[in-house]
Amino acid sequence: MKKARYVLRLASRNMWRNRLRSLLTIAGIAVAIISFGLLRTVVDSWYAGAELAASGRLITRNAASLAFPLPLSYGERIRRVQGVDQVTWANWFGGIYIDEKHFFPQFAVDADSYFKVYPEYVLDDQQLLAFKKDRRGVVVGSKTATKYGWKLGDQVPLRGTIYPGVWSFTIRGIYHGRDDKVDTSQFLMHWDYVNENVKAILPSLADKVGIFVVNIKNPSNAALESQAIDSVFRNSLAETRTETQKSFQLGFISMVDTILLAIQTVAYVVILIIMAVMANTMAMAARERTREYATLRALGFNQAFVYSLIVGESVSMAVVGGGLGVLLTFPLAKGFFSVTRDMFVVFDVTPTTITLQIMASLLIGLMAALAPTINSTKIKIVDGLRAVT
């Protein structure tokens, strides 16, 4: 116990012998741990939407591709499938506000059923009524409304891409999330209004729906319900593919899987790089202390004591840097989220990420001590005592 205390005392004091070097190394570790944490949180956040999806919610789309719509009439047939509770539908609108940089998701939705299927979108009754009464009205998520300073009654022009022309909408409602994990960036317009215009300009797309959103009574029957819905439309002109909301969203994420893999790889490469930097620092430190280590061994301390000094110093430095990194990850994640709100619904540093950061810090400390520890075993006491440091 007294030896352990001495090891800690010596290791922590040794750590500050070359202050500039130690501070730079600690800063490097902190930056690496922050980067690791933020990059992992970016990846987590991509998956967060899927993880937060309601378990009893299914998405039905065209089996051929999401690019091909389904007939509106399918909605009634889906509703008749046993176990289905509620059905609504939505079309991706894809308009441009000002320019492409000002992106927010826009959907043409069924005003009567959409907010029943999505109870997590909290909308004032008066505003819902106003939305239903105005065919050119829209409901906007609070995040997007705040971003552009929109308020009720404001006019928002969008330039159509899928649906040509300039569309003008009036904000009739601003929805909030039931909790901070709900996406509040959407811009929801009347499907009826869009469909009415489409009939005139693109008749082939009229009365068509991008996806049906289906709430089922028993979430544990999701697989069976999906099969039941799809079987209704088997051998039809537009066969369907039904899956849980989570699977549907994961399908989107799989499109950027390679990017996410690259981000994850970078996160681990950062740790490897700092491990090498730290190993170099420890190698220099251990080389400088060769004579001291030899003196300790001459005095009767065994090799394990010397190992513990090297490992103790290395781990102490990694823990200080890592701890700093973990602490700074939170405010930096907050700052990062504030400038990337359009990209992520949530940007929470998860307990898993924090655990991994702590483990990475310890690993950096242990691995960095490996080479100098091995080297120290090769040095004989008499040679160590002669070392010029």
Binding site for another protein (CB under 8 A): 2-3, 6, 9-10, 13-14, 17, 291-292, 295-303, 380-382, 385
Shortest Cβ 178–another protein spacing (Å)? 57
Shortest Cβ 343–another protein spacing (Å)? 49
301: helix, strand or coil: coil
Shortest Cβ 29–another protein spacing (Å)? 21
Compare residues 22 and 106 and give the one whose CB is closer to another protein: 22
Compare residues 238 and 385 and give the one whose CB is closer to another protein: 385
Compare residues 224 and 298 and give the one whose CB is closer to another protein: 298
Shortest Cβ 292–another protein spacing (Å)? 6
DSSP track, 72-115: TTHHHHHHTSTTEEEEEEEEE---BSSSTTS---EEEE-TTTHH
Compare residues 339 and 388 and give the one whose CB is closer to another protein: 388
User: For tokens 């110093």, what's the residue?
Assistant: 313
Shortest Cβ 389–another protein spacing (Å)? 10
User: For tokens 């909605």, what's the residue?
Assistant: 75
What torsion do the CA atoms of 210, 213, 219, 225 make, to the nearest 10 degrees?
A: -60
Shortest Cβ 299–another protein spacing (Å)? 5
In angstroms, how far is the first alpha carbon of the chain from the final one? 30
Other CB atoms within 10 Å distance of the CB of residue 47 = 14
Compare residues 19 and 80 and give the one whose CB is closer to another protein: 19
Shortest Cβ 279–another protein spacing (Å)? 22
- CA 162-164-170 angle, to 5 degrees, is 95
- Nearest alpha carbon to residue 90 among 290, 269, 248, 322: 248
User: For tokens 């319900």, what's the residue?
Assistant: 225
Q: Is 90 exposed, middle or buried (0-12, 13-18, 19+ CB in 10 A)?
A: buried
Compare residues 147 and 291 and give the one whose CB is closer to another protein: 291
C-alpha distances (whole Å) from 198 to each of 160, 191, 206, 207, 208 are: 11, 10, 6, 9, 10
Shortest Cβ 147–another protein spacing (Å)? 55
Q: Is 389 exposed, middle or buried (0-12, 13-18, 19+ CB in 10 A)?
A: exposed
240: helix, strand or coil: strand
Compare residues 98 and 298 and give the one whose CB is closer to another protein: 298
Compare residues 38 and 309 and give the one whose CB is closer to another protein: 309
HSE toward the beta carbon, residue 344, CA cutoff 13 A: 22
Compare residues 9 and 136 and give the one whose CB is closer to another protein: 9
Shortest Cβ 49–another protein spacing (Å)? 52
Buried b / exposed e across 295-325, counting CB within 10 Å, b at 16+? ebbeeebeeebbbbbbbbbbbbbbbbbbbbb
